[in-house]
Amino acid sequence: MDETDVLEHLPLRALHEELGGSFVPFAGWEMPVRYGPGVMAEHLWCREKAGLFDVSHMGQVMLPADAGEALEALLPMDVIGLQEGRQRYAFFTNAQGGLLDDLMIARHAEGLHLVVNAACAATDIAHLESHVPDVRVLSDRALLALQGPMAATVLERLVSGVAELRFMDVARLRWEGVDLWISRSGYTGEDGFEISLPVEGAEGFARALLRDEHVAPIGLGARDTLRLEAGLPLYGQDLGPEITPVEAGLTWAIQKVRRPGGARAGGYPGADVIAAQIEGGAPRKRIGLLPEGRAPMRAGTEVFAAEIGGKRVGVVTSGGFAPSLGAPVALALIEAGIADDAALWGEVRGRRLPVASMRPPFVAHRYHR
């Protein structure tokens, strides 16, 4: 059997083929990795205009409105205090304080809408079902993302009211009778929106967006380079069960009420480990790297604090060429004791090459605050 025979297909698979999409396996799905112009052109288009991504491979789940307390037993976020019409970044943790997955939680009038990573969807849903009552998997909804500096202008032409949303706002709106759940968020560092909608209305809505001369389809390849430039972590590379949120630089996502000394501190898997790292520091830290020259340092590249000899002090978790900068960038986990201005080297094919460290993002975020 050909590998693609066992892959899940996006609801808009035929449209992607019509648009000239090239497909690759990803997290059990057949995904368009690029279209005719190629990854670099798609990347720059999204930074300058508006890019349309099909992210229907992500898992979508609805929980009851009163499931906040049960959900807080699985993650260190303030779900009970999440207001209707707002969305929050979150992550599940394990008993060792590691990350099981990262996700988004939005509160609508009728419940909590969760979006989880495709590769983790089955285990996340089983995890939820064992702890939270009335978990409803939304297998009948597609998910599109419109990202870029012209995204709000383009979407407002079709859906009146979206331009009024702030970053991380969510709203229930309609387009030609189709029920749209829209959040002002995204995974590129640009202003943008994610739109959950019924599968049967997805193609018509996507085509309506693509009729705008400022919109182009963007594949998985440019999605990765965009998020890397924005310094946003990817689960399975920069995040994982052996990496704590403190090490990953995600302490900001844990609200005060759930931190040590907060009114609802702890009570989730690995809480003691994470609390100790919040108060006393973690053994590793996530940093950005700027390799000299134009050769990227890919995931797995070992990082050293000396040009010759010495032990490894870290490892690249994500790396590639940044089209917006015309230079390579990388994210790495290194020992916490390494000074922020320390000289570092990445070992590529047996040679240690100098890298400069910096705090990501590499390209400034342009969210609509």
- Domain boundary among the residues 207, 229, 251 is at 229
CATH number of the domain enclosing 8: 3.30.1360.120
Question: Which are the contacts of 32, defined by CB distance < 8 A and separation ≥ 6?
Answer: 10, 16, 19, 21, 22, 23, 54, 217, 219, 220
Mean pLDDT of 193-208: 98
Please, is 37 exposed, middle or buried when counting C-beta atoms within 10 Å of its C-beta (0-12, 13-18, 19+)? Answer: middle
User: Would residue 268 count as lying in a domain?
Assistant: no
- At position 47, the amino acid (one-letter code) is R
User: Would residue 237 count as lying in a domain?
Assistant: no
DSSP class of residue 148?
A: S
Q: Which pair of structure tokens corresponds to residue 72? A: 């807080």
Q: Does residue 96 surpass a pLDDT of 80? A: yes
Tell me the whole-structure pTM to 2 decimals.
Answer: 0.96
Residues 143 and 225 in one domain: yes
**pLDDT given for residue 85 in this prediction:** 98
User: Would residue 312 count as lying in a domain?
Assistant: yes
**pLDDT given for residue 3 in this prediction:** 47
Give the model confidence (pLDDT) of 219-265 as tens digits: 999 999 999 999 999 999 999 999 999 999 999 999 999 999 999 99
Residues 43 and 153 in one domain: yes
- Domain boundary among the residues 167, 196, 229 is at 229
User: Would residue 241 count as lying in a domain?
Assistant: no
- Domain boundary among the residues 212, 229, 246 is at 229
**pLDDT given for residue 2 in this prediction:** 47
Q: Which pair of structure tokens corresponds to residue 160? A: 């009146």
Instruction: Tell which residue, 244, 305, 300, has the closest CA to residue 270.
Output: 244
Residues 204 and 316 in one domain: no
Q: Are 291 and 228 in contact (CB under 8 A)?
A: no
Q: Does residue 190 surpass a pLDDT of 50? A: yes
Q: How many domains does the chain have?
A: 2
Mean pLDDT of 144-161: 98
Mean pLDDT of 66-95: 98
Q: Does residue 4 surpass a pLDDT of 80? A: no
Residues 47 and 153 in one domain: yes
In percent, the amount of the chain with pLDDT more than 70 equals 99
**pLDDT given for residue 1 in this prediction:** 37
Give the model confidence (pLDDT) of 359-368 as tens digits: 999 999 999 9
pLDDT band at 108 (very low <50, low <70, confident <90, very high): very high
Q: Which pair of structure tokens corresponds to residue 299? A: 């995931």
Residues 146 and 51 in one domain: yes
pLDDT band at 5 (very low <50, low <70, confident <90, very high): low
Range of the domain at 307: 283-369
Least confident of 1-5, 47-51, 67-71, 301-305: 1-5
Residues 46 and 151 in one domain: yes
Instruction: Tell which residue, 104, 114, 109, 103, has the closest CA to residue 83.
Output: 109
Residues 48 and 189 in one domain: yes
CATH number of the domain enclosing 312: 2.40.30.110
Alpha-carbon distance 363 to 61, whole Å? 32
Residues 157 and 219 in one domain: yes
Q: Does residue 134 surpass a pLDDT of 50? A: yes
Residues 180 and 322 in one domain: no
Alpha-carbon distance 303 to 335, whole Å? 10
**pLDDT given for residue 6 in this prediction:** 87
Give the model confidence (pLDDT) of 266-293 as tens digits: 999 999 999 999 999 999 999 999 999 8
Residues 52 and 173 in one domain: yes
In percent, the amount of the chain with pLDDT more than 90 equals 96
